[in-house]
Each structure stands twice: as structure tokens, then as C-alpha cells.
């Protein structure tokens, strides 16, 4: 499984793994019941401590996105709370929250932000 890690961003590595796997579920690249790499294999591939992988997998399990089956491995959960669509919506909500917080620091009211999003989206449409 390809995961890009940035060791220099200040963002914890376990959280980068969590986000990357959430992203793969949201984009449909990982489907329900897909098996994730074993803790040992992912640690070896990413050249990190296995405990970091454990922490990431535990957090994903806590979020209901994966299940760890003892002796069998780690699987993308079939839990309805973790459909690609709901994960995707949550990821986009996180982005929106960050953007609104930045915009409010610039003194921009909410409707100005919404207007700009809409006009940018319209500009992109003809290219698609």
C-alpha cells in the first residue's frame, strides 16, 4: 500500500497514516472488507516503529473505520457509519472548517467565503 509520509511537517506520523487511510476509503481505493497490511509489514515498508502503526490502526478502529481481527489481520470495516460517502463528507467538512477559521482570521464573513467558493467552482466547470 502506498502511503506518503512527511516526516518534517510537525504532524504526528500516526495521524498521517490515519488520514491517508481515511482518504483511501473516502476515494473508494480501499473497499469494505479489504485487508490492510500487517503491522509488521507496514512498519517495514515505511521504515517506522511498529508501535506507530499500532497507534494508527487503533485510532482507525476507534473511529469505526477498520476492525482488527485477532490472528487474521486488519480489515476495512463494513460498518454503515464508515461508507466512502460519509468518510468523504467528513474529510471535506474538516477542510471547510480549516478554511473558515483562516478566513475569519482575515476578517472575511461566512457569506463572502461561500460566494468565493461558488465563483471558483463555476470557473472550474468548463474545464471538466
Residues of the shown chain interacting with other proteins in the complex, contacts defined by CB under 8 A: 7-15, 40, 43-44, 47-52, 55, 104-105
Minimum Å gap between C-beta 28 and other proteins is 29
Q: Which is nearer to other proteins, 57 or 82 (CB)?
A: 57
Least distance in Å: CB of 87 to other proteins?
A: 21
Q: Which is nearer to other proteins, 12 or 28 (CB)?
A: 12
Of the pair 1, 54, the CB lying nearest other proteins is at 54
* Of residues 60 and 82, the one with the C-beta less far from other proteins: 60
* All cell numbers assigned to 5: 509520509
Minimum distance from CB of 14 to other proteins (Å)?
6
Whose CA is closest to 66, among 112, 111, 33? 33
Q: What's the gap between Cα 75 and its chain centre? A: 16
| 57 alpha carbon, distance to own chain's centre | 13
Do 103 and 35 meet the contact criterion of CB atoms below 8 Å apart?
A: no
CB-based contacts of 84: which residues, under 8 Å, 6+ apart?
25, 26, 27, 28
Amino acid at each position: 500500500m502506498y502511503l506518503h509520509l512527511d516526516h518534517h511537517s510537525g504532524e504526528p506520523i500516526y495521524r498521517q497514516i490515519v488520514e491517508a487511510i481515511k482518504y483511501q476509503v473516502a476515494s473508494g481505493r480501499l473497499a469494505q472488507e479489504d485487508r490492510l497490511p500487517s503491522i509488521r509489514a507496514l512498519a517495514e515498508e515505511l521504515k517506522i516503529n511498529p508501535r506507530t502503526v499500532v497507534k494508527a490502526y487503533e485510532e482507525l478502529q476507534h473511529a469505526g473505520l477498520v476492525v482488527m481481527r485477532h490472528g487474521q489481520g486488519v480489515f476495512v470495516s463494513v460498518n454503515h457509519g464508515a461508507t466512502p460517502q460519509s468518510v468523504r463528507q467528513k474529510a471535506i467538512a474538516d477542510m471547510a472548517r480549516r478554511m473558515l477559521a483562516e478566513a475569519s482570521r482575515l476578517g472575511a464573513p461566512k457569506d463572502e467565503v461561500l460566494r468565493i467558493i461558488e465563483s471558483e467552482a463555476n470557473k472550474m466547470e468548463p474545464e471538466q
